[in-house]
Amino acid sequence: MLSSSTSTAAILDASRLPLPLSRPFLFRPGASSACLAERRMRPLTEEETRALFERLSKYIGENIKLLVDRPDGTYCFRLHNERVYYVSEKILKLATSIAREKLVSLGTCFGKFTKSQKFRLHITALDYLAPYAKYKIWVKPGAEQSFLYGNHVLKSGLGRITENTNQYQGVVVYSMSDIPLGFGVAAKSTQECRKLDPMAIVVFHQADIGEYVRHEETLT
Amino acid sequence: MGRKLDASRKEKRGPGRKSRKQKGAEAELAHFLAADVPASKRLCSRSRRRAAKRCQELPTPVDKANADHQELSAPQDKKKDFHQKPITGKKTHEMQHQKASILGFSDENAEWLTLAKRKRLQSEESKEEECPELGYGSEEDSVSDNEHLSLGSGDAEEMVDDYGTSSNSESEQLPIEKAARKLKLLQEKKGSRQGSSSRDDNDDAVASDLALNMDVEEAFVLPSSQAIQEISLHPTDLHVIHQRIRDNVEVLQNFATRREAERTRQEYLTLLRKDLAVYFSYGDYLIEKLMELFPVSELVDFLEANEVQRPMTIRTNTLKTRRRDLAQVLINRGVNLDPLGKWSKTGLVIYDSSVPIGATPEYLAGHYMLQGASSLLPVMALAPQENEKILDMCCAPGGKTSYIAQLMKNTGMILANDANTERLKSVVGNLHRLGVTNTVVSNYDGRQFPKVLGGFDRVLLDAPCSGTGVISKDPMIKTNKVEVDLQRCAHLQKELLLSAIDSVDANSETGGYLVYCTCSITVEENEWVTEYALKKRNVKLVPTGLDFGKEGFTRFRERRFHPSLKLARRFYPHTHNMDGFYVAKFKKFSNMIPKLVKEVDSVLATEPTSLDIPAAVAAPAAKQVKNSKDQGLEVNEQFNGLSPAQHKTGVKCKRKSAMQKRLHRKSTAGKAKKHMYKKFKKGN
C-alpha cells in the first residue's frame, strides 16, 4: 500500500529536520511540517480514515464495505494535496511515476480535508454515493432548477422521500427521472415532512451537479 | 416531433443565414456561387410541372384585371403583357434584357416573330426533355422562362424544391454538404459542355447585373497594375469587390478562353488575393497560404464556410446512458436533433434548442459532452482497446480523453496530460462529470514524455497548432497568424511527435499505434511534420479507419512527400461541414531510434535492412551527399525540415557507392558537412 518511491520519501523526511531555510522550496509559509508531509500522495492515517468513513456512512451506511472490497480489483483511498482520491491499485501504480507537483488528479476525487481536519465531501463523489445511498429524496421537475443553482429543497418541490428518514440524515437528491442531482441533509424527518408548510426547507443543500458549471475551478 | 422541423429545409427559404449575418455582401456571394454555374438555375421536372400548374390557374383572375390591357393591345401582345405583369419591379431591366438576348425581338415585329419558337429553341439547347407530358405551349414555357431569367423570389423557391428532390436519398447529409456535392456535380457537367455554356454564362452575367443594379461589362477587364495598387490603398465598396472576385474566378476557371491576351495568370491571382483578403478580412500571409492549398473556386467555398458556425454536436456518454435514450430526453426538453452520421454511433447534431444545451440536468449529470464532430475522428482512428495503457498528450479540455475512456469502458488506464494548468481544471471537471475513473491527470510539458513514463500501447497527440481549421470558431486567426507562428507551431509539433513516438511501445500485443492530429489545414503543420517523423523514427503510416475525408497530400507545390501520406486524412469545413482537421495514424514497428542524424557516413556504409524504410531512409541520405558537395548550408536546412523533402524512390545502390567514393576524395566537404550536423544537433 506504500505508494511513493523511497527517494521522494527521503527528501520529505529530510524536510522535517529543523533546517527549513536550506530547502525553501519545500517550505510553505504558514504551513506546519505535518502539512508538508500531506502534500505527498499517501494512504490515509487512522484518524483521516475514520473522518472519511464517518462522513460516507451518513449517506451510504454500511455499504462502505462495498467500496473497499470490490470484486473487480483492489481499490484504495489516497491523500494527495489534502484531497482524497478513490482509485484502483493499477492506476495508482501508474500515478506513482508522476512527480508530486505534476500530478493533478487520479481516479475519482471524494472530497478534501479542511484546515480543521474535518472531511468535506465533493460533488465528484456522487457517482459512488448515488448507487449505494440508503436515504433518497426526489424533487419535482419545477424544483430541479432551483436545487441545481445551489438552493435548499423546499417542501413544495419535494416529490418523494424514503420512508423513516431521520432528521439530519444524509440524503441523495434525485430528479423524478432518477438522475442523481446532488446530496444534502434532511432538515426534517419523513413524519414531520407530511405536515409541513410548503415553503419550509426539507433538505439542506450540500452539493449539486450544477457545481460542474458554477465552480469548475474549485471542483476538486 | 422534433424531426419534422428540419433546419436545413427551413434555412433555404428566404434570404438565408449568410445574408442575415452580413447584409448585402454575403447574399451576393451566395448568389454569385449559384450564378457561377449556369445549370443551377434550370428547373427540375417537378418544379416545372408546378410552374405549369400555376400558369394554368393564374389566367382567370389576372385576365380580368388586365382587361384594359387587352383592349389596348393586339392579341399577340396580350400574352406578353400578361407575363410581364407580375414582375413589374424589374420590368425595365427585363425588357432590355429580352431585347438584348432575343435577337431582334421587339413590339414592332411581335406580330410575325413569336416568343414560343424562340423558347423552344433554347429549351432544346439546354437539354431539358425530362417532362414529356408538359407541352411546349407558348404560355407555359414563357412563364417558366420568365422565372428563369428574372431570378426573383419565385426562382429561389424553385431552388428549394430542387434541393429537396435531389437530396431525398441522402437525407442525413447536412445542407452545406449537399451544396458542395451539387457544386461538384455541376462543375463536372460544365466541363463536359463547355462549348454550349457561353450563352448561359452571358445570361447569368446579365441576371446578376439586374440583381446588383450596377453596370459592369460582360467581359472581365483586369485593372492595370497601377490601378490594382490604388485599389488596395483605397478599398471600395464591398459589392464592387465581390463582383470583381466573381468575375475573376470565372476567368481563372476558364483561363485559356477568357483571359486578356497580354495579362498573366499571376496578375489575375494577385488581384484575387487582394480582393479576397479585403472581402473576408484575412491577413495577407494566411490568404496566400490558403490560395496555395485550394483551387480558386474551392477557396471561395472555404472562406465562405469559415464565416458560418459549424452545427453544434454532442457525444453521448455511453458510460452513463444510450444515444436513443438521450435523444428522447433531449427532444422532450424541446431540442431539435439528429444523429450525426453513419460514421458515428454516439454523436448527435443539435439544430436548435429552447434550453441551453450546456446546462441541462442531463449535461450536468454527464450524459453527454459538447464536442465538435471533428474531434471524434482522431479517437476513432486511435481505436483504443479495453485494458490498454494510453497516453493523451495534450488532453484539454478532456473531450477526446473521455471518449477514449468510454471506448475502453473505463478499463485499463489513461494518462491525460496537458502543459497548461488552467486548462487542466476543465479536464478534471469533465472527467468527473462524465464518470471516467481510469484516468490520471498530469501537468507535464509533452516533450518530457518518454522520460516521465513510456511504454504506452497507444498515444494520441492532438498537437497545439495555428488553428487554421477552426477560423469559424476564432476569427482572430484570420489576421494574427504570420509565418513565424506557423514555423513555431511546426517545430513544437515535431518535437512533440517524436516524444510521442518514443512513448509508444512497439512490442505491445494489441497496440503500438499513435495518432497525430491537428485542427489546422496547413501543410507545414501536417504533412511536413508527418514526413519528418517518418524519417526520424521507425514508424509507418497505416490507414486511419475513417472512410471519408480527403487524402493527405503526397505532393504539394515543389515538395514531394512519402507516398504513404495518402493514408492520412484531411477534413474541411466546406466539404464535410466540420472543423478543418488532419488525422494521421502511425504504427511503430521498432523501438530502436535510427541513428540517421548523428553520423551520415554510417548510414551510407550500412545498407537499409528493413523493407519498409528504404524510401524514407535512403532517399534523404543520398540527397544529403549530393547537397553537401555543393553547400553545407542546404543540408542543415533540410534537417530543420525547412527545405523541400525530396523523395527519389529509385535511388540506386550503385549511384550511392559512387558518391561515397567521391565523398571520401573530397575530405573538406565531408568536414564541412559534419560541422553542420553538429550545429544542427545543438540547434535542436
For B255-278, what is the mean pLDDT?
A: 88
Q: How far apart are CA B310 and CA A80, in angstroms?
A: 41
Burial of B228 (0-12, 13-18, 19+ CB in 10 A): middle
The yes-or-no verdict on residue B92 having pLDDT over 50 is no
Query: What cell was used for A98?
Result: 508522476
| B529, B558, B588 - which closes a domain | B588
In terms of pLDDT, which residue wins out, B248 or B115? B248
Q: What's the confidence (pLDDT) of residue B225?
A: 72
**In this structure, is residue B254 part of a structural domain?**
no
Same domain, residue pair B95 and B130: yes
Same domain, residue pair A152 and A189: yes
CATH code, domain with B499: 3.40.50.150
| pLDDT grade for A4, boundaries at 50, 70 and 90 | very low
| A110, A127, A144 - which closes a domain | A127
End-to-end CA distance of chain A: 23
User: What is the distance, to the nearest Å, from the Cα of residue B347 to the centroid of all Cα atoms in its chain?
Assistant: 21
Asked if B334 is an interface residue toward chain A (Cβ–Cβ < 8 A), one would say no
Asked if A95 is an interface residue toward chain B (Cβ–Cβ < 8 A), one would say yes
Count CB neighbours of B676 within 10 A. Answer: 21
Q: What's the confidence (pLDDT) of residue B147?
A: 41
In terms of pLDDT, which residue wins out, B46 or A214? A214
Same domain, residue pair B570 and B607: no
Q: How far apart are CA B134 and CA B126, in angstroms?
A: 16
Helices within B111-224 (DSSP H only): 115-125, 138-150, 153-166, 175-192, 197-212
Over the stretch B665-683, which tens digit does the pLDDT of each residue have?
A: 444 444 444 444 444 444 4
Q: Which of A91, A124, A180 sits opposite B365 (nearest CB)?
A: A180
Same domain, residue pair B416 and B434: yes
Mutate to test the interface with B, among A67, A127, A181 (most CBs of B within 10 A): A127
Tell me whether residues B364 and A148 touch, CB distance under 8 A: yes
**In this structure, is residue B611 part of a structural domain?**
yes
The yes-or-no verdict on residue B205 having pLDDT over 80 is no
Q: Which helix (H) or strand (E) holds B427?
A: helix B421-433
The whole-chain average pLDDT of chain B stands at 73
Count CB neighbours of A7 within 10 A. Answer: 8
Q: What's the confidence (pLDDT) of residue A39?
A: 61
Tell me whether residues A181 and B365 touch, CB distance under 8 A: yes
Same domain, residue pair B581 and B600: no
Q: How far apart are CA A152 and CA A76, in angstroms?
A: 33
> DSSP characters for A185-204?
EESS-HHHHHT--TTSEEEE
**In this structure, is residue B6 part of a structural domain?**
no
Tell me whether residues B361 and A90 touch, CB distance under 8 A: no
**In this structure, is residue B83 part of a structural domain?**
no
Over the stretch B8-37, which tens digit does the pLDDT of each residue have?
A: 555 555 555 555 544 445 555 555 555 444
Tell me whether residues A213 and B359 touch, CB distance under 8 A: yes
Over the stretch B33-87, which tens digit does the pLDDT of each residue have?
A: 554 444 445 667 787 888 787 767 654 444 444 444 444 444 444 444 444 444 4
What residues make up the domain containing B95?
25-75+88-181
Over the stretch B127-175, which tens digit does the pLDDT of each residue have?
A: 443 433 433 333 444 434 444 433 334 343 333 333 333 334 445 566 7
Q: What is the pTM of this model?
A: 0.66
Over the stretch B191-202, which tens digit does the pLDDT of each residue have?
A: 655 544 444 444
Query: What cell was used for A9?
Result: 520519501
* Confidence check on the interface: ipTM exceeds 0.90, yes or no: no
Same domain, residue pair A116 and A65: yes
With pLDDT > 70 as the criterion, what percentage of chain B qualifies? 58
Q: Which of B358, B359, B415 sits opposite A94 (nearest CB)?
A: B415
Tell me whether residues A213 and B442 touch, CB distance under 8 A: no
Active site residue B519: yes
What residues make up the domain containing A167?
135-218
Query: What cell was used for B123?
Result: 429549351
Q: What's the confidence (pLDDT) of residue B31?
A: 55
Same domain, residue pair A116 and A147: no
Asked if A3 is an interface residue toward chain B (Cβ–Cβ < 8 A), one would say no
A170-175/A201-208 β-pairing: unpaired
| pLDDT grade for B596, boundaries at 50, 70 and 90 | low
Query: What cell was used for B108?
Result: 414592332
3-state secondary structure of B135: coil
Count how many domains chain B has: 3
Same domain, residue pair B582 and B658: no
Over the stretch B106-131, which tens digit does the pLDDT of each residue have?
A: 556 655 655 554 444 444 444 443 43
**In this structure, is residue B129 part of a structural domain?**
yes
Same domain, residue pair A46 and A121: yes
Query: What cell was used for B277?
Result: 483578403
Q: What's the confidence (pLDDT) of residue A3?
A: 41
Q: Which of A99, A144, A219 sits opposite B429 (nearest CB)?
A: A219
Q: For residue A128, give Cα distances in angstroms to A54, A123, A131, A132, A183.
A: 15, 10, 6, 7, 12
**In this structure, is residue B459 part of a structural domain?**
yes
Contact (Cβ atoms closer than 8 angstroms) between residue B36 and residue B250 = yes
Least confident of B216-220, B297-301, B398-402, B424-428: B216-220
Q: How many CA atoms lie within 13 A of A81 on its CB side?
A: 13
In terms of pLDDT, which residue wins out, A15 or B348? B348
Backbone angles phi, psi at B657, to 5 degrees: -70, -35
The yes-or-no verdict on residue B257 having pLDDT over 90 is no
**In this structure, is residue A23 part of a structural domain?**
no
Backbone angles phi, psi at B14, to 5 degrees: 75, -165
Q: How many CA atoms lie within 13 A of B534 on its CB side?
A: 29
Q: What's the confidence (pLDDT) of residue B54?
A: 76
Query: What cell was used for A55?
Result: 462522513
**In this structure, is residue A18 part of a structural domain?**
no
**In this structure, is residue A140 part of a structural domain?**
yes
